[in-house]
Amino acid sequence: MHEAFVSLRAEAIRKWEERQQSTIPRILVGSATCGCATGALDVITAIEQKLQETGIKAHIQQVGCIGMCYAEVLVDIIKPGRPRISYKNMTPETVAELLEDYLLNDNPRPDLALAVIGEGEVEGIPNLADEPVFKSQQRIVLKNCGHIDPESIEDYMAQDGYMGLVKALQMQPQEIVDIVTKSELRGRGGAGFPAGRKWNSCLRAAGDQKYVICNADEGDPGAFMDRSVQEGDPHALIEGMTIAGYAIGASKGYIYVRAEYPLAVVRLKKAIEQAKEKNLLGENILGSGFSFDLEIFQGAGAFVCGESTALVMSIEGKRGMPRPLPRPRTTEAGLWNKPTLLNNVKTFAYVPQIIHKGADWFTSTGTEGCRGTAVFALTGKIKRSGLIEVPMGIELGKIIHEIGGGVLNDRKFKAVQTGGPSGGCLPESKLNLPVDFDTLVEAGSMMGSGGMVVLDETTCMVDVARYFLQFTLEESCGQCVPCRLGTLQMLEILNEICAGKGREGDIELLVELGKSIIASSICGLGKSAPNPVLSTINYFRDEYEAHIKDRACPALVCKDLIKYSIDVEKCSGCGLCRKNCPTEAITGGKKEPHVIDQVKCTKCGICYDVCPDRFRAVACFTGKEKAAV
């Protein structure tokens, strides 16, 4: 068995090295879904065109996402004898210019460059490893994303790929489970349940047939970590699941992936085929006698199917509704009532490296109780949005200010929302907290699957709570009363508060309802749905009070509570606001002060935005000021 693998691996490394030593330049384009959405495919077309026009020979390679969304489209160029240079925000025009300058004339264009990746120096271009965005990151799960060709098993094998599986196949199942237990790996789906305990329980469960399921139903708005792993490094997931299958004695695995991730589905399918071709998956893997088959199951778009029991029902062809307690554990009676091991994409993706490098290697990162790294999708009002991987225990503020580069447009930080729609909002005073499963829960939020949305001073916290609640209430399975109707009731109250119709006692009512929904809902969705409301009330109660008592929205967001007005003293009658107003609510002659017709005004704020800085004649009012204008 080992010999067969050794030759496969040697061949993969040989091809990889050959490519590194290539005499023609290589162009890597980040073309995961995120890259494609920013125009990576157009950039690739432009590159192909330019190469044809100029006759330059180069090899174009599509790679996964390296995580720097703010800099997409990313194009990396590796010229023979030169380090790999990553170029940011490429467009068809700039990339054509770059190819001409760098490949024809050897000008590396430091003005377009983001950084040098890996070893080597280029004058005027910093090294990515020294940049604030990368300095504090540590990449385990994302280590291959953006570096290898996700559609090539050989690329993966050249980076220690499938070494974990080979090692595992030479061990007893219990030994593998023991390593996972010793690594203190906790499930990355959100709750942080110890993976070793789950694996052990599944190994011990009696059953002629067992299943491994990967929960890739990543549904949180603003979260895309699992997609990135599937699109950028699908073999890591497949290898992790195969090891799990061997460890618990399962012969069949399912990847439950959102149908909204078509590229992930394509790449996973391809990866499964490749692994089968190389006998790293399928019948009698590497002659070990162990057989494991993987099937992709596409979810139909229900957020609640990310809940394990609902997910299992969905695969069984039933309506995805979480099973109420008391119920048997999924590890004992899961899919088709057989023992089932269900873990998140990232959890499985850690496993090959843990087996390959050992439990101690993994526990050397992170904190006591929370080992390894955490992957976050950093979005919102942040300068450097993207996918980051940091050691557990890193300070929350460091993520935002160092890695993220601080708040967009240098506005004032207000809060950070972690854990997706089920998480909570943490204020500035909590930025010194270490990021791990338990600390975030204590602070009233959660790690969840890893969404992290930064909010600035222009964000209304009541409105934010309303946004997240709207999401969960629409995604409730509708089974239990508190979740189905309680969240709806809370939303109605928030709608009225935002419309200036809030009543005395509404804040207390929201807290009362929220606590009851948490206590009496069936599943995690209902039990966490009120979190955005409760945490914003906890940390930003004054904003709720301003809405209710003063009919004021301090962040000037809630349309029913604000009013735009033009200062006749300051207005020079330039007409910009009048021309841009979508509802023709603004009137005024040339060089005469303009006036807003409040009946026609939809409070879109365009006039405020377009009024030139030298006049600043448009102002927005709320509360008492609004009444006075």
Partner 1 sequence: MATVKVNINGMDVQAEEGMTIYEVAQSLGIYIPTLCYHPDLSTFGGCRVCMVEANGEEVTACRAPIKDGMVIKTDTENVSQMRLINVELILTNHDQDCQSCARNNNCKLQEVSAFVGVTPERMQRLRRVITNEVKDISNPIFQRDFAKCIVCGICVRTCEEINGIAAIDFGFRGYKTTISTLGDKPILESKCESCGECVERCPTGALVVKGQVIPEREVKTVCAYCGVGCGLILGVRGSRVVSVRGDRENPVNNGHLCIKGRYGFDFLNHPERLKTPLVRKGGVLTEASWEEALSLVAAKIKEYRDNFGPDALAALASARCTNEDNYLLQKLFRSLGTNNIDHCARL
> Measured from the CB of residue 508, what is the shortest distance to partner 1 in angstroms?
9
Neighbours of 467 (CB within 10 A): 17
Q: Could you tell me the smallest distance in angstroms from the CB atom of residue 511 to partner 1?
A: 12
Interface with partner 1 (CB under 8 A): 302, 304, 319, 321, 324-326, 473-482, 484-489, 492-493, 496, 503, 505, 509, 512-513, 516, 519-522
**Min. distance of Cβ 306 from partner 1 in angstroms?**
14
Long-range CB contact pairs, 186-189, < 8 A, 24+: 186/370, 186/371, 186/437, 187/343, 187/344, 187/347, 188/343, 188/344, 188/345, 188/346, 188/347, 188/350, 188/375, 188/449, 188/450, 189/215, 189/306, 189/343, 189/344, 189/347, 189/449
Based on CB atoms, which residue is closest to partner 1, 269 or 527? 527
- Name the minimum Å distance from CB 495 to partner 1: 9
Smallest distance, Å, CB 149 to partner 1?
Answer: 39
Nearer to partner 1, 386 or 482 (CB): 482
Q: How many residues does the chain have?
A: 629
Q: How far is the CB of 43 from partner 1 (least distance, A)?
A: 38
Q: How far apart are CA 113 and CA 58, in angstroms?
A: 19
Distances (CA, A) of 279 to 20, 87, 626: 27, 38, 71
| 3-state SS string for 272-319 | HHHHHHCCCCECCHHHCCCCEEEEEEEECCCHHHHCHHHHHHHHCCCC
Alpha-carbon span 498 to 481, nearest angstrom: 25
Query: Which residue is it, tokens 């791990």?
Result: 436
DSSP string, 494-563: HHHHHTT---TTHHHHHHHHHHHHHHH-SSHHHHHTTHHHHHHHHHHHHHHHHHHHS---TTS--GGGEE
Q: How far is the CB of 519 from partner 1 (least distance, A)?
A: 6
CA atoms within 13 A on the CB side of 38: 19
Between 325 and 599, CB nearer to partner 1: 325
Instruction: Give 144 or 476: the residue with its C-beta nearer to partner 1.
Output: 476
Where are the alpha helices (H) located in 183-249, listed in sequence order? 195-204, 225-232, 234-248
| Coil, strand or helix at 77 | strand
The secondary structure of residue 100, as a DSSP letter, is I
- In this complex, which beta carbon is closest to partner 1, that of residue 354 or of residue 493? 493
Q: How far is the CB of 514 from partner 1 (least distance, A)?
A: 11
In the bound complex, what is the minimum distance in angstroms from residue 515's beta carbon to partner 1? 9
Burial of 106 (0-12, 13-18, 19+ CB in 10 A): exposed
Q: Which residues contact 81 (CB under 8 A, 6 or more apart)?
A: none
Closest separation in Å from C-beta 204 to partner 1:
22
Taking the least distance from each CB to partner 1, the nearer of 213 and 529 is: 529
Tell me how crowded residue 173 is: count the other CB atoms within 10 A of its CB.
16
* Cβ at position 509, least distance to partner 1 in Å: 5
Asked if residue 593 has a cis previous peptide bond (ω within 30° of 0), the answer is no
Element (H, E) at 213: strand 211-216
28 or 534: whose CB is closer to partner 1?
A: 534
Q: What does the alpha-carbon distance between residue 239 and residue 161 come to, in Å, rounded to a whole number? A: 8
Q: Cis ω on the peptide bond leading into residue 73 (within 30° of 0)?
A: yes
Element (H, E) at 626: helix 623-628
CB of 482 to partner 1, least distance (A): 6
Q: Closer CB to partner 1, residue 240 or residue 420?
A: 420
Helices first, then strands: H and E counts in the chain: 26, 20
Choose among 398, 437, 390: nearest CA to 418: 437
Q: How far is the CB of 386 from partner 1 (least distance, A)?
A: 31
Query: Would you say 372 or 530 has its CB closer to partner 1?
Result: 530
In this complex, which beta carbon is closest to partner 1, that of residue 230 or of residue 308? Answer: 308
